[in-house]
Amino acid sequence: MRRNHSTTPRSPRILGSLLLLAAAGVFTLGTAPAAPAATTAAAPTPLDQVVPAPASVKPAGTPYRITRTSSVRVDGSAEVRRIGAYLTGILRPSTGYPLPLTDHGTGGISLHLAQGDYGAEGYRLHSDAGGVTITASAPAGLFHGVQTLRQLLPPAVEEKTVQPGPWQVAGGTVEDRPRYSYRGAMLDVSRHFFGVAQVKRYIDQLALYKINELHLHLSDDQGWRIAVDSWPRLATYGGSTEVGGGAGGSYTKADYREIVSYAASRYLEVVPEIDMPGHSNAALASYAELNCNGTAPPLYTGTEVGFSSLCVPKQVTYDFVDDVVRELAALTPGRYLHIGGDEAHSTSHADYVTFMDRVQPIVAKYGKTVIGWHQLTGAHPAQGALAQYWGLDRTSAADKAQVVKAAQNGTGLILSPADRVYLDMKYTKDTKLGLDWAGLVEVERSYDWNPGAYLPGAPDSAIRGVEAPLWSETLTTSADLDYMAFPRLPGAAELGWSPAATHDWDTYKVRLAAQAPRWDALGITYYRSPQVPWPTS
Ligand code: ACM
């Protein structure tokens, strides 16, 4: 139960003083691996000092140095040229070099599509004194290779004004491809509304870590955030507030298309969620006929859960769902439509099953694949549906067994264990933002688990990937989002991308620490966990 604040009391005085000592560097000084000299200006970043860890790295030869005369070479297609333009958009302001985009010549930085065993998102990056070549069989692979190149350059490359350099890329070859095809992040724009610019900012952060799915939690008790022409009060009234009673907001269809298209330009697919049959007060408040008693409840600005339900016996409920799903599917080029299904505590089990039996075919009718929170496995998940697991270590064996059984019967799983990758959980009891119903989740705990072994009995083929949700009951600004996502988000991204063989907290924390100057350059606020050997300057 999400809002059940049942964490055991800790010993505040002792823990508090331990934290103070740790924050003062008393613990990390003695145990930190050598200061990350690799991030100083002179020495190029070693090829393996990237997050997520690449699948294979072979250092060799001399570094490439970007200079005033370097070019960015793109082969003929418009899409490759666009990725080249994205890259020069990062490199030109900080290097101050012209870096022309060209489709002829040799040397420099080259982005190149070719047949090969790269998979849908993999790439090869080769660097030597003559240049850097990124090769992939699909544009998404080139884009991910560009993120690796970015991280191999000094953090100052992220600045918007000219920096001294030098701009070297270590020599050798990276061959890389993801462990999982679904690497997601969820943003709750319902509890507090986040506008288009804020969502774009988050998309840019996700892209840096090769995340490829943006799940938007578009409706909940506190707010409906997407315009629906056939039910206009959903947005105009249901979207008119948020937790705490602020003004809320909602996306017009044009706003939403802009988010989808920006995400696509960063190779992220948008997964829209309409949470049903619970978490539906904003809809129930907007239209009296959706309520079994025919009376609209007031708007809700608190943080309780489990009190609302669409009216399962009424036909109008399915007319409503059909309209909403039709309009949302028409805005969504992506494959998935998330129907929620969590914490339906005000819906009887029989009604829940009836509802899911009626709603899943509507999603299919409009050409989309169902994703639901894992409670969907207690009903009849449709053929091809994915269940998003948000349980914890302490989740009952029976609940886990139900999810595992569904996976054995063909339901794919997205893993979002709340006591690992819910980015809104407090890091420590002293974290001001966030919640603690799933426990306190420090950086090591968030990173140190294996998606492939997490639910014993679930077939390997059922594990489609990892998603890190960011719920926003306590979060109101982009700085708040940053602080909860960083530094845990890169760990979730690595769990989704990197081979299990690279998984190692002691080496990960050094790579993670080296990201901090990049976050500083990008204006990303982050939690300076005492578990991570941050650079001192
Ligand atoms: C959830 O946290 N209720 C999915």
pLDDT of residue 75: 87
Q: Label residue 31 by pLDDT band (50, 70, 90).
A: very low
Residue 463 has pLDDT above 50, yes or no: yes
Q: What are phi and psi of 430, to 5 degrees?
A: -90, -5
Contact present, 484 and 432 (Cβ < 8 Å): no
Give the gyration radius of the chain's Cα atoms: 24
Could you give the CA distance from residue 449 to residue 446 in angstroms, rounded to a whole number?
A: 8
pLDDT digits (tens, 9 = 90+) for 418-461: 999 999 999 999 999 999 999 999 999 999 999 999 999 999 99
Q: Which of 311, 306, 315 is nearest to 340 (CA)?
A: 306
Q: Label residue 261 by pLDDT band (50, 70, 90).
A: very high
Q: What rounded mean pLDDT belongs to the chain?
A: 93
User: What CATH topology corresponds to 182-497?
Assistant: TIM Barrel (3.20.20)
Contact present, 79 and 86 (Cβ < 8 Å): no
Q: How far is Cα of residue 78 from the mean position of the Cα atoms in its chain?
A: 27
Which tokens belong to 314?
Answer: 């009424």
pLDDT of residue 157: 98
Angle of helix 488-497 versus helix 196-208 axis, rounded to 10: 50
Residue 18 has pLDDT above 80, yes or no: no
pLDDT digits (tens, 9 = 90+) for 146-157: 999 999 999 999
DSSP per-residue codes, 323-350: HHHHHHHHH--SSEEEEE----TTS-HH
pLDDT digits (tens, 9 = 90+) for 206-240: 999 999 999 999 999 999 999 999 999 999 999 99
Atom in ligand 1 nearest the alpha carbon of residue 340: 4
In the block, residue with structure tokens 């010549």: 105
Q: Which of 532, 514, 490, 518 is nearest to 48 (CA)?
A: 514
DSSP per-residue codes, 457-505: TS-GGGEEEEEEEE--SS--SHHHHHHHHTTHHHHHHHHHHS-GGG--H
Which tokens belong to 135?
Answer: 């090769």
pLDDT of residue 30: 32
Q: Which of 512, 518, 451, 502 is nearest to 177 (CA)?
A: 502
pLDDT of residue 17: 35
pLDDT of residue 25: 32
Ligand 1 neighbours by CB, cut-off 6 Å:
2, 342-343, 373, 390
pLDDT digits (tens, 9 = 90+) for 340-397: 999 999 999 999 999 999 999 999 999 999 999 999 999 999 999 999 999 999 999 9
Angle of helix 488-497 versus helix 505-513 axis, rounded to 10: 130
pLDDT of residue 44: 97
pLDDT of residue 24: 34
> Closest Cα to atom 3, ligand 1: which residue?
342
Residue 69 has pLDDT above 90, yes or no: yes
Residue 4 has pLDDT above 50, yes or no: no
Residue 167 has pLDDT above 60, yes or no: yes
- Burial code (b: 16+ CB inside 10 Å, e: under 16) for 447-473 equals bebebeebbeebeeebbbbbbbbbbbb
Strand partners, 387: 372, 413
Cis peptide leading into 381, omega within 30 of 0?
no
Sequence ranges of the domains in the chain: 27-36+46-176, 182-497
Contact present, 222 and 279 (Cβ < 8 Å): no
CA 228 – ligand 1 centroid, Å: 24
CA 108 – ligand 1 centroid, Å: 48
pLDDT of residue 9: 32
Q: Label residue 116 by pLDDT band (50, 70, 90).
A: very high
CA 344 – ligand 1 centroid, Å: 10
Q: What are phi and psi of 500, to 5 degrees?
A: -55, -30
pLDDT of residue 237: 98
* SS3 of 206-241: HHHCCCCEEEEECEECCEECECCCCCCHHHHCCCCC
Residue 58 has pLDDT above 80, yes or no: yes
pLDDT of residue 2: 52
Active-site annotation holder among 242, 327, 343, 467: 343
Which tokens belong to 253?
Answer: 């269809």
Q: Which of 105, 101, 108 is nearest to 81 (CA)?
A: 101
CA 59 – ligand 1 centroid, Å: 43
Cis peptide leading into 487, omega within 30 of 0?
yes
Q: Which of 205, 265, 199 is nearest to 226 (CA)?
A: 199
Q: How far is Cα of residue 321 from the mean position of the Cα atoms in its chain?
A: 27
Cβ neighbors of 149 (< 8 A, separation 6 or more) are: 87, 109, 125, 132, 134, 169
pLDDT of residue 38: 42
Residue 20 has pLDDT above 50, yes or no: no
Contact present, 62 and 129 (Cβ < 8 Å): yes
Task: Enumerate helices (H) and strands (E) in the chain, giving the number of each.
Answer: 17, 19
Pocket test for ligand 1, best of 274, 308, 339, 373 (most atoms within 8 A of CB): 373
Taking the CA atoms of 214, 198, 1 and 15 in sequence, report the sign of the dihedral they define.
positive
Atom in ligand 1 nearest the alpha carbon of residue 422: 2
pLDDT of residue 152: 98
pLDDT of residue 106: 86
Cβ neighbors of 105 (< 8 A, separation 6 or more) are: 71, 73
Q: Tell me how far CA of residue 198 lies from CA of 194, 332, 476, in angstroms.
A: 6, 20, 11
Average pLDDT value for residue range 37-63: 86
Give the percent of the chain with pLDDT over 90.
91
pLDDT of residue 537: 65
Average pLDDT value for residue range 115-134: 97
Task: State whether residue 111 is helix, strand or coil.
Answer: strand
Could you give the CA distance from residue 534 to residue 511 in angstroms, rounded to a whole number?
A: 10
CA 16 – ligand 1 centroid, Å: 30
pLDDT of residue 27: 31
- Name the strands in the sheet holding 131-136, side by side, starting at the edge strand that comes first in the sequence: 56-59, 172-176, 123-128, 131-136, 108-113, 72-74, 101-102
Q: What angle do CA 5, 525, 174 make, to 5 degrees?
A: 105
467 is catalytic: no
Average pLDDT value for residue range 122-139: 98
Task: State whether residue 435 is helix, strand or coil.
Answer: strand
> Closest Cα to atom 4, ligand 1: which residue?
342
Cis peptide leading into 277, omega within 30 of 0?
yes
Q: Which CATH architecture has domain 27-36+46-176?
A: 2-Layer Sandwich (3.30)
Atom in ligand 1 nearest the alpha carbon of residue 279: 3
Could you give the CA distance from residue 409 to residue 101 in angstroms, rounded to a whole number?
A: 50
Atom in ligand 1 nearest the alpha carbon of residue 388: 4
Task: State whether residue 260 is helix, strand or coil.
Answer: helix
